[in-house]
């Protein structure tokens, strides 16, 4: 399949989180993603209270990422996925940007309220950046109050829906909310949130479902990265510091 998808959310680089455990595993999944149409893939390791981005952890992530990027058949870029915590407010968010764009990927907690998430999103905005909301359809706060997702989209914070939600691989409620965000034009993009072989970095199945539901033009915008000014085929910057 011709590479045309941009995937801004994956755990393709070994980082100590629940994603791939070594470069070989990440390389196999990156090759699989490429064969299924992904041309640009972001590695977004978790940063959370349990997994802070210490200097040593960041060094190991960047070293593994550099090795993976040299060997992968698609374009790889680095970012992070933030779990909201107040400790972020004492530092600068530019450390966590998605490479080459002015966006930071941040998730609403899977359980509990979204108060700290809002504070972290506004902290990102004060730095002149924009938060991208990871998989809102999978969170308790949005499932209990779908209007929260509408509010976040109204703030200009792009909503990223998981392909796996649209494919019904979680709960029926998550699938329904994911499609509501797509159908109502609230979702800005779809990403894989791929972790390991059991949760691969594949977008083609969800793309075909979305195309059949909302048409090719709208489906393409959700999968081609244009919501963040991205596109397949741009030249990556080299020379990450290790």
Task: Render each residue's pLDDT in the chain as its tens digit; 242 residues.
Answer: 676 899 999 999 998 887 889 999 999 999 999 999 999 999 999 999 999 999 999 999 999 999 999 999 999 999 999 999 999 999 999 999 999 999 999 999 999 999 999 999 999 999 999 999 999 999 999 999 999 999 999 999 999 999 999 999 999 999 999 999 999 999 999 999 998 888 888 999 999 999 999 999 999 999 999 999 999 875 443 333 33
Query: How confident is the model at residue 206, as a pLDDT?
Result: 97
DSSP category for residue 94: G
Closest CA to 196 of 22, 57, 20: 20
The residues facing 159 across adjacent strands are 133, 187
Instruction: Lay out the sheet containing 187-191: strands in order across.
Output: 46-47, 81-82, 103-107, 130-134, 159-162, 187-191
Q: What are phi and psi of 123, to 5 degrees?
A: -60, -40
Query: How confident is the model at residue 18, as a pLDDT?
Result: 79
Query: How confident is the model at residue 19, as a pLDDT?
Result: 82
Query: How confident is the model at residue 238, as a pLDDT?
Result: 35
Rounded to whole angstroms, the Cα distance separating 6 from 79 reads 14
The residues facing 133 across adjacent strands are 106, 159
Query: How confident is the model at residue 234, as a pLDDT?
Result: 52
Query: How confident is the model at residue 1, as a pLDDT?
Result: 66
Name, in order, each residue with C-beta under 8 angstroms of 98's C-beta and a sequence gap of 6 or more. Answer: 8, 42, 44, 77, 79, 104, 105, 132, 228
Q: Are 29 and 12 in contact (CB under 8 A)?
A: yes
Which pair of structure tokens corresponds to residue 30? Answer: 């990156």
Query: How confident is the model at residue 16, as a pLDDT?
Result: 82
pTM of the model: 0.93
Query: How confident is the model at residue 240, as a pLDDT?
Result: 35
Q: What domains sit in the chain, N to C, each tagged with a CATH number? A: 5-228 (3.20.20.140)
Token pair 């829906």 is at which residue? 161
């Amino acid at each position: 399949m011709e590479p045309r998808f941009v995937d801004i959310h994956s755990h393709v680089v070994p980082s100590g989180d629940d994603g791939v455990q070594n470069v070989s595993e990440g390389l196999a999944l990156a090759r699989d993603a490429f064969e299924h149409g992904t041309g640009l893939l972001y590695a977004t390791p978790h940063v959370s209270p349990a997994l802070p981005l210490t200097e040593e952890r960041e060094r190991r992530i960047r070293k593994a990422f550099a090795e993976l990027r040299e060997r992968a058949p698609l374009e790889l870029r680095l970012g992070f996925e933030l779990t909201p915590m107040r400790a972020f407010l004492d530092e600068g968010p530019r450390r966590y940007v998605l490479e080459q764009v002015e966006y930071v990927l941040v998730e609403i907690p899977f359980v509990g309220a979204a108060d700290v998430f809002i504070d972290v999103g506004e902290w990102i905005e004060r730095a002149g950046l924009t938060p991208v909301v990871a998989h809102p359809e999978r969170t308790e706060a949005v499932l209990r109050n779908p209007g929260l997702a509408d509010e976040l989209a109204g703030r200009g914070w792009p909503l990223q829906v998981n392909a796996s939600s649209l494919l019904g691989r979680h709960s029926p409620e998550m699938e329904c909310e994911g499609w509501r965000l797509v159908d109502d034009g609230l979702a800005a993009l779809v990403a894989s949130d791929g972790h390991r072989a059991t949760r691969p970095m594949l977008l083609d199945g969800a793309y075909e479902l979305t195309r059949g539901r909302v048409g090719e033009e709208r489906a393409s915008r959700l999968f081609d990265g244009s919501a963040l000014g991205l596109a397949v085929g741009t030249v990556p910057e080299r020379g990450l510091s290790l």
